[in-house]
Amino acid sequence: MSICKTLFAGGIVAGLLLAGAAQAQFPERAVTLVVPFAAGGSTDVVARVIAQKMSEDLGQQVVVQNVAGAGGSLGASNVARAEPDGYTILMGTVATHALNPLILKNKPYDAETDFAPVSLLVLVPNVLVVNPELPAKSVKELLALLKAEPDKWSYASSGNGTPLHLSGELFKAMAGVKMEHIPYKGSGPALNDLLGNQVSIMFDNLPSSSAHITAGTLKALAVTTADRAPSFPDVPTMAEAGLPGYETYTWNALFAPKGTPQDVVARLNAAAVKAMGDTAVAERMKEFSATIIASTPEALADHVKAEISKWTPVVADANVQMD
Ligand code: GLU
């Protein structure tokens, strides 16, 4: 009997050890990091910098997969419905986890309950950029142009329900001007058209526009954050440029599907936090004036809640609703 008991107990211990060993091995194969916007946009740029560093720590490739569409909600829903095993994760943004849920009437997922938060990585400024051919070199001149020719101008964004869409609608509402909104599947394709001057005005995230601003192929009229972006100290804030109280920004955060085991979330969190602590990563983020956060999963859950509350009245004031 006692041998039986011992064997039984031994079996449990062995089982636990085996289970522990199996989990400790995560990841055993490549991890797919879904970027819910097209290649070349801000989320893609940030994801690729981080994926490379996370791969080194995890000992497995973190492969970026662009699943663009519906302002980020297509890629986000794919991850919400993926196997909760840590092998499919999302580079979420303020679009997928605060604005889409507020702006889209048909909500494909619940931002708060359908995901296991992993880490809030960075806060990213947005920027109003124009093609240098546009006959407006400041926000003041742009407002004069839009008032003089109210039906002529359009602005590009990374899609409906994104911070760039909200930035444009907030700009229009606060300044009392008209501009048609042209949504793209991400900043990447929108930037292509802005550089080709098929569209002359765009709200972008700084990580995707910064190289073009530095090269002079795009002109930055204002950043959308409360403070100036340290890497572009000459670019005024929207408030300084004449719209006091104006503020939008973006953030990037990692999410796994709801139900992902806690130790897998912890392993992904550790790899993400380590990646954000890397000097080369920090240097890249500095170029974009992105603020590194590298939070705990719990802090990301709180952040999502707070962001939804923060943007609810702003979205209502800017009067943006999409099907
Ligand atoms: N504006 C999008 C967002 O932050 C990202 C655009 C992009 O990465 O292409 O939600």
Q: Does domain 125-241 bear CATH number 3.40.190.10?
A: yes
Of 258, 301, 261, nearest to 115 (Cα)?
258
Distance 187 CA to ligand 1 centre (A): 6
The two three-digit tokens of residue 88, written as one number? 């499919």
Atom of ligand 1 at shortest range from CA of 250: 4
260: left (phi over 0), alpha (psi -120 to 50) or beta: beta
Of 213, 104, 194, nearest to 156 (Cα)?
194
Atom of ligand 1 at shortest range from CA of 68: 9
Residue by residue, pLDDT tens for the chain (323 residues) are: 344 444 444 444 444 444 444 445 899 999 999 999 999 999 999 999 999 999 999 999 999 999 999 999 999 999 999 999 999 999 999 999 999 999 888 889 999 999 999 999 999 999 999 999 999 999 999 999 999 999 999 999 999 889 999 999 999 999 999 999 999 999 999 999 999 999 999 999 999 999 999 999 999 999 999 999 999 999 999 999 999 999 999 999 999 999 999 999 999 999 999 999 999 999 999 999 999 999 999 999 999 999 999 999 988 888 776 66
Distance 146 CA to ligand 1 centre (A): 25
User: Strands 201-205 and 88-93: what pairing?
Assistant: unpaired
Atom of ligand 1 at shortest range from CA of 252: 4
Distance 214 CA to ligand 1 centre (A): 20
User: Strands 291-292 and 201-205: what pairing?
Assistant: unpaired
Distance 1 CA to ligand 1 centre (A): 64
* pTM metric for this prediction: 0.89
Atom of ligand 1 at shortest range from CA of 95: 10
Domain coordinates of the chain in residue numbers? 28-122+251-318, 125-241
Residue to probe by mutation, ligand 1, list 49, 73, 93, most atoms within 8 Å of CB: 93
> Do residues 301 and 63 lie in contact, with contact meaning Cβ atoms separated by under 8 Å?
no
Atom of ligand 1 at shortest range from CA of 186: 9
Distance 154 CA to ligand 1 centre (A): 19
CA dihedral 76, 82, 84, 89 (to 10 degrees): -40
28-122+251-318 matches 125-241 in fold: yes
Ligand 1, CB cutoff 6 Å, lining residues: 37-38, 41-44, 72, 93-95, 158, 162-164, 186-188, 205, 250
The two three-digit tokens of residue 195, written as one number? 């550089």
Helix, strand, coil share (%) of the chain residues, nearest 5: 45, 20, 35
Distance 155 CA to ligand 1 centre (A): 15
> Do residues 243 and 231 lie in contact, with contact meaning Cβ atoms separated by under 8 Å?
no
Atom of ligand 1 at shortest range from CA of 187: 9
Distance 100 CA to ligand 1 centre (A): 12
Which superfamily, per CATH, for 28-122+251-318?
Answer: Bordetella uptake gene, domain 1 (3.40.190.150)
